Amino acid sequence: MSKRFFLLIAVVASVLGVAACGGGDGNETGGADLSEAETYKVGYAASQTGRLAIFEEVFLEGLRAEIAAINEEGGIDGQVTIELDVRDCASDPQRCGVAAQELIDKGAQFLISPCDVDASLPAAQIAEREEIPILNSCGSGSSFREQVGEYAFLNVYGTEAEGQAMAEFANDQGYKTAAMMTSNDIEYTQSIISSADDRFTALGNDVVETQTFTLDAPRYTSQATAIASSNPDVVMTSIFLPAAVTFLQNLRSAGYKGPVIGPDGMEGEELFSAGNAANDVSVLTFGYPGTAPENATNKFYDLYEEFTGKRPPLVIAALGGDAAVLIDEAVTDAGTTNPPEVRDALDEIEGVIAPSGEISYAGHEGVPAKDVVILRTNVPKKEFEFVERFVPEAVQEGGE
Domains 9-157+292-369 and 160-285+373-396 fall in the same CATH topology: yes
Q: Is the pLDDT of residue 293 over 60?
A: yes
> In terms of pLDDT, which residue wins out, 212 or 28?
212
Three-state secondary structure of 346-397? HHCCCCEEECCEEEECCCCCCCCECCEEEEEEECCCCEEEEEEEECCHHHHC
Q: Is the pLDDT of residue 181 over 80?
A: yes
Q: Where are the alpha helices (DSSP H) in the chain?
A: 9-22, 53-72, 93-105, 117-130, 144-148, 159-172, 187-202, 221-230, 243-253, 296-308, 316-334, 339-347, 393-396
> In terms of pLDDT, which residue wins out, 157 or 13?
157
The whole-number pLDDT of residue 12 equals: 39
Residue 18, classified by CB atoms within 10 Å of its CB into exposed (0-12), middle (13-18) or buried (19+), is middle
Place 7 in a pLDDT band, splitting at 50, 70 and 90.
Answer: very low
pLDDT in tens, 214-232: 988 999 999 999 999 999 9
3.10.330.10, 1.10.10.10, 3.40.50.2300, 3.10.580.10: CATH of 9-157+292-369: 3.40.50.2300
Residue 332, classified by CB atoms within 10 Å of its CB into exposed (0-12), middle (13-18) or buried (19+), is middle
What pTM was estimated for this model as a whole? 0.86
Could you tell me if 44 and 111 are in contact, meaning their C-beta atoms sit under 8 angstroms apart? yes
Place 283 in a pLDDT band, splitting at 50, 70 and 90.
Answer: very high
Indicate the domain borders of the chain: 9-157+292-369, 160-285+373-396
* Strand pairing class (177-182; 152-154): unpaired
The whole-number pLDDT of residue 109 equals: 97
| Residue 365 to residue 384: CA distance in whole angstroms | 32
- Please give the average per-residue pLDDT across 178-191, as a whole number: 94
pLDDT in tens, 140-158: 888 899 999 999 999 999 9
User: Which among 38, 29, 41, 31 is positioned nearest to 84, based on CA atoms?
Assistant: 41
The whole-number pLDDT of residue 398 equals: 52
| Residue 304 to residue 310: CA distance in whole angstroms | 7
- Please give the average per-residue pLDDT across 44-56, as a whole number: 91
Sign of the CA dihedral 346, 22, 320, 372?
A: negative
Q: Is the pLDDT of residue 36 over 90?
A: no
| Residue 130 to residue 143: CA distance in whole angstroms | 20
The whole-number pLDDT of residue 141 equals: 86
The whole-number pLDDT of residue 24 equals: 40
Cβ neighbors of 152 (< 8 A, separation 6 or more) are 124, 127, 128, 134, 136, 144, 145, 366
Question: Which of 3-7, 206-210, 293-297, 298-302 shows the lowest per-residue confidence on average (mean pLDDT)?
Answer: 3-7
| Residue 65 to residue 60: CA distance in whole angstroms | 8
What is the strand order of the sheet 206-212 is part of?
A: 206-212, 177-182, 234-237, 260-262, 281-285, 372-378, 383-390
> In terms of pLDDT, which residue wins out, 124 or 119?
124
| Residue 59 to residue 45: CA distance in whole angstroms | 13
Q: What are phi and psi of 374, to 5 degrees?
A: -105, 130
* Cα radius of gyration rounded to whole Å, the chain: 21
| Residue 276 to residue 126: CA distance in whole angstroms | 46
Question: Which of 18-27, 28-37, 267-276 shows the lowest per-residue confidence on average (mean pLDDT)?
Answer: 18-27
Mean pLDDT of the chain: 90
Q: Is the pLDDT of residue 194 over 50?
A: yes
Helix or strand run (H / E) with residue 106:
none
Cβ atoms within 10 Å, residue 365: 16
Superfamily in which the 160-285+373-396 domain is placed by CATH: Response regulator (3.40.50.2300)
Q: What are phi and psi of 229, to 5 degrees?
A: -65, -25
Place 29 in a pLDDT band, splitting at 50, 70 and 90.
Answer: low
pLDDT in tens, 332-372: 999 999 999 999 999 999 999 999 999 999 999 999 999 99
Buried/exposed code over 374-396 (b: 16+ C-beta within 10 A; e: otherwise): bbbbebeeeebeeeebebbebbe
Cβ atoms within 10 Å, residue 362: 12
